Amino acid sequence: MKCPNCGVEAAAGATDCPACGVIFAKFKKKLESLTLPPPTEFNPWIGRGIAAAIVVLWMIAFGVYYRRAVSEMPVRNPAGPFRRR
Ligand SMILES: [Zn+2]
């Protein structure tokens, strides 16, 4: 097999490289830990989902508030403050 660190051809059953002395199993693990994303990595889709949910909730809240404000306006003040009687 070929050494993943220096590229020197090592014996088939060798566990370490005769040229640079790297231990293949250890090196492989190190490479995997470097290439694989850590399990706690932030998923950008979760952030997008939260952002979308906040926008949707805000729109619903605003829609409810706006409807209430519009429907209450003529009831509270039907013909202006001076024509109350
Ligand atoms: Zn090597």
User: Do 54 and 84 sit in the same domain of this protein?
Assistant: yes
User: Do 48 and 9 sit in the same domain of this protein?
Assistant: no
Span from the CA of 32 to the centroid of ligand 1 (angstroms): 17
Span from the CA of 34 to the centroid of ligand 1 (angstroms): 18
Residue-number span of the structural domain to which 70 is assigned: 42-85
Span from the CA of 35 to the centroid of ligand 1 (angstroms): 20
Residue type, 65: Y
User: Do 32 and 68 sit in the same domain of this protein?
Assistant: no
pLDDT (tens place) for every residue of the chain, 85 residues total: 889 899 999 998 999 999 999 999 999 888 888 877 667 767 788 888 999 999 999 999 999 998 888 887 766 666 666 655 5
Per-residue confidence (pLDDT) for residue 75, from 0 to 100:
62
Span from the CA of 22 to the centroid of ligand 1 (angstroms): 6
Span from the CA of 28 to the centroid of ligand 1 (angstroms): 12
| Contact status, residue 2 vs residue 14, Cβ threshold 8 Å | no
User: Do 55 and 30 sit in the same domain of this protein?
Assistant: no
Span from the CA of 12 to the centroid of ligand 1 (angstroms): 13
Per-residue confidence (pLDDT) for residue 84, from 0 to 100:
57
User: Do 70 and 81 sit in the same domain of this protein?
Assistant: yes
User: Do 25 and 55 sit in the same domain of this protein?
Assistant: no
d(CA 23, CA 12): 14
User: Do 48 and 82 sit in the same domain of this protein?
Assistant: yes
Number of domains in the chain: 2
User: Do 59 and 75 sit in the same domain of this protein?
Assistant: yes
Classified as helix, coil or strand, 10 is coil
